Amino acid sequence: MRTPLIAGNWKMNGSAALVEEFGHAFAEARLPASLDVAVLPPFPYLDAARRGFEGTPLRLGAQTLNPLHSGAHTGEVSGRMLREFGVEYALTGHSERRQLYREGDEAVLDRLLAALSVGITPILCVGETLEERDTGRTMDVVLRQVGYVMARLEPDQRSRVVIAYEPVWAIGTGRTATPQQAQEVMAGIRQYQAGFDRELAAGLRLLYGGSMNAGNAAELLAQPDIDGGLVGGASLKVDDFLAICQSAG
């Protein structure tokens, strides 16, 4: 069975105080027995989070990484450095990185390979814009983003990737995909992978992201092909994030 994963992407938000608050709340929290939970704070908070989350179920993630291990790349952070801070997950291909920082499929692949090379589980984010959905291109776009990366990996690498389906029109808009819309695309991703490797597809963890909150998480997470959530805004409020984690049981 696939273990659900709830990941909180804080984006460029949060504070040292919020890290501390999460550490305290999750130390006391009763969570479903079989659940992985990660928080992805901005880089400056990683060290505090590593200390503050000790003894809690919270694992650490990063929002991006540079494809190289080290070098003259002002402002960048490598996977090797993240690993030193106990980072276990890293986003690659988030739509904000694709749009705002012009990261294309090749850049996404490079970052994902860098994560794998240091033992970090990459979360490959994919998703269509509203225009792409309205013109009937959702599956083409999503499967191109998935296929570009997965086709270039070795089987053992492929089995370590988590895929997050985040429709761009649902991110930060309060407009969530309906459980049926999300399920349809995510079943399509799994079927596409099954065309290459049935066993891998059956074990592939697929997360939904886009305005997931405490009110809609249970219904989304109840869909057969949704194995967890990538949560933005609602991951900044400890009670909401806890409630989402609890509904993943």
Instruction: Please select the residue that binds ligand 13P; options are 39, 126, 231, 244, rule is CB under 6 A.
Output: 231
- The residue range among 111-119, 131-139, 155-163, 206-214 that interacts with ligand 13P, by the rule CB under 6 A, is 206-214
Least distance from ligand 13P to the Cβ atom of residue 144, Å: 20
Distance CA 112, CA 117 (A): 9
Instruction: Please select the residue that binds ligand 13P; options are 232, 241, 244, 247, rule is CB under 6 A.
Output: 232
Is 169 annotated as a binding-site member? Answer: no
Is 9 annotated as a binding-site member? Answer: yes
Question: DSSP states of 108-165 as a string?
Answer: HHHHHHHHHHTTPEEEEEE---HHHHHTT-HHHHHHHHHHHHHTTS-HHHHTT-EEEE
Q: Does 245 bind ligand 13P (CB under 6 A)?
A: no
φ, ψ of residue 157 to 5 degrees: the values are: -75, -40
- The residues with which 37 forms a beta bridge, in sequence order, are 6, 58
SS3 state at 241: helix
Q: Does 233 bind ligand 13P (CB under 6 A)?
A: yes
Question: What's at 22, amino acid-wise?
Answer: F
Least distance from ligand 13P to the Cβ atom of residue 135, Å: 22
Least distance from ligand 13P to the Cβ atom of residue 195, Å: 27
| Contact predicate 143/189, CB 8 Å | yes
Query: What x/- string results for residues 152 through 181 when contact with ligand 13P is judged by CB under 6 A?
Result: --------------x----xx---------
Indicate which residues carry an active-site annotation.
Answer: 94, 166
Distance of CA 113 to the CA centre of its chain: 16
- The residue range among 25-33, 48-56, 74-82, 210-218 that interacts with ligand 13P, by the rule CB under 6 A, is 210-218
How many degrees, rounded to 5, is the angle at CA 206 between CA 234 and CA 229? Answer: 10
| Contact predicate 27/55, CB 8 Å | yes
Instruction: Please select the residue that binds ligand 13P; options are 5, 149, 150, 212, rule is CB under 6 A.
Output: 212
Residue 170 to residues 155, 190, 200, 215, Cα–Cα distance (Å)? 32, 21, 28, 15
Least distance from ligand 13P to the Cβ atom of residue 233, Å: 3
Least distance from ligand 13P to the Cβ atom of residue 136, Å: 23
Site for ligand 13P, residues 2 to 21, rule: CB under 6 A = 9
Binding site for ligand 13P (CB under 6 A): 9, 94, 166, 171-172, 209-212, 230-234
Annotated binding site: 9-11, 172, 211, 232-233
Annotated binding site for substrate: 9-11, 172, 211, 232-233
